[in-house]
């Protein structure tokens, strides 16, 4: 016998029931047995963030079902900085109807708010560089992807208002509209370089297959970052057969050197010399002091941060030195029009160090605005009023004193 079709209301109910914490379902049953009340919740996080709570509020409005009106009161506008443990928004309605929604609401707060904060800081630290959202491979499916990208778009919007270039696109079609585009952006992964057999061959294949696109070429696959960069540039700009005549199109080179090796020809000592000359300082220590700042350098008596800075400036992988050498190599060969894209580990710290060092990078491809520690994303919702009377567990009184849903 065929199973009867589930009614839309039943399907909506089942959606919440299968996702909420079970103690909320059991609590709803208690409230329905002994009498409903109007409950007022406040939502906050335990660290400083940028407010990016529209997905949570949208979910709340979509899933709330009761004859008792739902009231949502924003205490911070989207994009505003929120101090730690300050409620971001309040909501009030039927306690029975709201109980099971708490889990779903909180799931949509933390990741978006942390991503917004990090994306803003990253964009402001490298204010002249554009950013491309490449976090999708590090997300746990569409829900996280959309929340993180939404947060990054909010943080980017605030950075743009402050004069930064910010995030200009996403690697996915799914999240591209959050950055104002219909489609994702990107050219080639490392696998295409291996498939083609050489960096130049891959560049030519891409240009022939996608003749309307700008071209960004990975140049670290064979460990010949600077040699392959020049070979691609000579083809693109100088080829006598006319294959390099690309009106209206631009060339960029993406450096994504593996973290276990130095870029072509570099060593630690050579990297120190490149960075010191770039910053017009005498040695390694002065270079580190320059990018950290005087007070931070002097305060780091255990050299914990200084060692992190050294890795960013002079270490293996995509270091500051490797990017500076790329820019200098291209300029000396007459390819100043070629842009540089850097990727690999560009979190808030690395962006800050690159920004302080005036790194000659045009675009950053990164997904590292997503939270490094998931416990940073844990949001909290407390009921602090029942039927208009203030009542909250001991220890949280100061967070909500004087607040009410309007």
pLDDT above 90: percentage of residues in the chain? 85
CATH of the domain at 263: 3.20.20
Residue 221 domain-assigned (yes or no): yes
Domain identity same for 278 and 258: yes
Domain total in the chain:
2
Q: Residue 238 is part of which domain span?
A: 186-366
Cα 136 vs. chain centroid, distance in angstroms? 10
- Co-location of 231 and 348 in the same domain: yes
User: Is the residue at 76 inside a domain?
Assistant: yes
One domain for residues 210 and 348: yes
- Closest listed residue to residue 132, CA positions, set 149, 118, 146: 149
- Co-location of 359 and 382 in the same domain: no
Task: Output the CA–CA distances (angstroms, integers) from residue 125 to 150, 156, 163, in the order listed.
Answer: 20, 12, 11
Region 94-102: mean pLDDT is 96
pLDDT band at 403 (very low <50, low <70, confident <90, very high): confident
When pLDDT is cut at 50, 70 and 90, the band that residue 187 belongs to is: confident
- The answer, yes or no, to whether residue 5 has pLDDT greater than 90, is no
pLDDT in tens, 310-358: 999 999 999 999 999 999 999 999 999 999 999 999 999 999 999 999 9
Q: What is the pLDDT of residue 11?
A: 72
Q: pLDDT band at residue 118, thresholds of 50, 70 and 90?
A: very high
Largest Cα separation within the chain, whole Å, is 86
Is the Cβ–Cβ distance between 47 and 372 less than 8 Å? no
* Angstrom distance (rounded) from CA 51 to CA 150: 11
> CATH number for the domain including 89?
3.90.1170.20
pLDDT of residue 322: 98
Q: What average pLDDT does this structure show over 131-160?
A: 95
323/379 same-domain check: no
Q: Note whether residue 149 is domain-resident.
A: no
Residue carrying structure tokens 């990090």: 118
Do 198 and 309 reside in the same domain of the chain? yes
What is the average pLDDT across 261-271?
97
- Structure tokens of 43? 């939502």
Say if residues 51 and 18 touch (Cβ distance below 8 Å).
Answer: no
On whether residue 15 sits in a domain, the answer given is yes
> Across residues 203-231, what is the average pLDDT?
95
Of the listed ranges 9-23, 28-42, 103-117, the one predicted with least confidence: 9-23
Q: Is residue 114 part of a domain?
A: no
Sequence-ordered list of residues with C-beta below 8 angstroms from that of 218, at least 6 positions apart, any chain: 188, 189, 190, 193, 199, 202, 254, 256
Same domain, 220 and 92: no
pLDDT in tens, 348-395: 999 999 999 999 999 999 999 998 888 889 999 999 999 999 988 898
Helix, strand or coil, per DSSP, at residue 86: coil
Is 28 inside a domain boundary?
Answer: yes
Do 253 and 361 have their domain in common? Answer: yes
Residues 334 and 225 in one domain: yes
Q: In this predicted structure, what is the pLDDT of residue 243? A: 47
Let me know if residue 118 belongs to a domain: no
pLDDT at 239: 60
Task: Say if residue 297 is in the same domain as residue 260.
Answer: yes
Domain check: are 285 and 396 in the same one? Answer: no
DSSP helix/strand/coil, 40 = strand
Are residues 381 and 323 part of one domain? no
Whether residue 180 lies inside any domain: the answer is no
Q: State the pLDDT confidence band at 1, using cuts at 50, 70 and 90.
A: very low
What are the backbone dihedrals phi and psi of residue 402, each rounded to the nearest 5 degrees, phi first? 85, 0
């Amino acid at each position: 016998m065929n199973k009867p079709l589930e009614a839309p209301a039943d399907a909506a109910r089942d959606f919440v029931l299968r996702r909420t914490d079970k103690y909320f379902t059991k609590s709803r049953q208690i409230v329905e047995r002994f009498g409903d009340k109007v409950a007022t919740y406040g939502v906050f996080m335990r660290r400083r963030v940028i407010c990016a709570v529209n997905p949570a509020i949208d979910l709340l409005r979509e899933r709330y079902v009761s004859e008792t009106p739902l009231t949502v009161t924003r205490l911070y506008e989207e994009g505003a900085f929120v101090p730690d443990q300050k409620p971001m928004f309040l909501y009030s309605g039927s306690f029975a109807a709201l109980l099971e929604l708490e889990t779903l609401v909180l799931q949509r707060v933390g990741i978006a708010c942390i991503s917004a904060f990090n994306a803003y800081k990253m964009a402001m630290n490298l204010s002249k560089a554009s950013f491309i959202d490449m976090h999708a491979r590090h997300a746990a499916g569409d829900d996280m992807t959309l929340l993180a990208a939404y947060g990054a778009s909010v943080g980017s919007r605030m950075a743009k208002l402050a004069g930064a270039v910010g995030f200009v696109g996403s690697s996915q079609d799914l999240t591209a509209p959050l950055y104002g585009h219909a489609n994702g952006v990107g050219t080639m992964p490392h696998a295409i370089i291996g498939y083609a057999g050489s960096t130049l061959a891959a560049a030519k294949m891409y240009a022939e297959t996608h003749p309307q696109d700008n071209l960004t070429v990975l140049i670290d696959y064979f460990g010949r970052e600077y040699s392959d960069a020049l070979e691609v540039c000579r083809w693109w700009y100088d080829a006598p057969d006319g294959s390099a005549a690309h009106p209206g199109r631009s060339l960029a080179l993406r450096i994504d050197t593996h973290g276990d090796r130095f870029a072509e020809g570099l060593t630690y000592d050579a990297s120190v010399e490149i960075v010191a000359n770039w910053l017009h300082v005498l040695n390694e220590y002065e270079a580190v002091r320059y990018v950290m700042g005087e007070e931070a350098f002097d305060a780091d008596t255990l050299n914990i941060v200084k060692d992190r800075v050294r890795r960013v400036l002079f270490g293996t992988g995509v270091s500051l030195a490797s990017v500076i050498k790329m820019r200098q190599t291209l300029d000396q060969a007459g390819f100043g029009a070629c842009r540089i894209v850097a990727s690999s580990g560009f979190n808030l710290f690395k962006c800050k160090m690159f920004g302080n060092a005036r790194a000659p990078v045009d675009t950053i491809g990164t997904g590292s605005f997503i939270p490094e520690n998931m416990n940073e994303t844990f949001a909290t919702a407390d009921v602090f009023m029942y039927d208009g009377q203030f009542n909250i567990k001991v220890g949280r009184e100061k967070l909500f004193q004087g607040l009410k849903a309007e």
